Amino acid sequence: MLEEGSIYAVKEILRSRRRGGQLEYLVDWEGYGPEERSCALLPAGMEDLLKHLTEVSIRQQQIVEHLASRQGQTEQELANLRAATAVAAHVPLPDFRTQATRLLPKMTPHDDVEGFSSDV
């Protein structure tokens, strides 16, 4: 049995029950085996704190689940971009000389180069 007034570290709260209008917790103590588990009362005023901590813990779990989901979506988007980039890397770029020749009119030796360039 644990000594009255001593401070022990809680490893895990296993269960709770209401007994005589108070909450009792079945506690697994840090550094002690399962045979040393015992019921403990929460000190006065701690119920609200425990309730708040429980709510915060639930919210943190929801955030972690959302981030894990978003990470999965981001990884899928990244995989899609990598696949698209790999396909694009195999598509040859057009030859700029061929494009320029096709777009510009042909010049002959008799064309006025200065006049030709000012028309463009």
Write the pLDDT tens digit of every residue in 84-105.
887 777 777 777 778 777 787 7
72 and 60 housed in the same domain: yes
Domain that holds residue 22: 7-42
Three-class DSSP category at 30: coil
Domain assignment present for residue 14? The answer is yes
- Based on its alpha-carbon atoms, the radius of gyration of the chain, rounded to whole angstroms, reads 38
Residue 114 — pLDDT band, cuts 50, 70, 90? low
48 and 75 housed in the same domain: yes
**CA–CA distance from 114 to each of 105, 107, 111, 120 (Å)?**
15, 12, 9, 10
13 and 26 housed in the same domain: yes
CATH code assigned at 32: 2.40.50.40
Instruction: Report DSSP letters for 63-103, one per residue.
Output: HHHHHHHHHHHHHHHHHHHHHHHHHHHTSPPPPHHHHHHHH
Please identify which residue in the block is written with the tokens 């030796």: 109
Total structural domains within the chain: 2
26 and 60 housed in the same domain: no
Three-class DSSP category at 16: strand
Spatial CB neighbours of 31, under 8 Å, sequence gap ≥ 6: 9, 11
Higher pLDDT, 42 or 32: 32
Closest CA to 2 of 43, 45, 44, 31: 31
Q: Taking 60 as the threshold, does the pLDDT of residue 37 lie above it? A: yes
| pTM: predicted TM-score of the whole model, two decimal places | 0.41
Domain assignment present for residue 68? The answer is yes
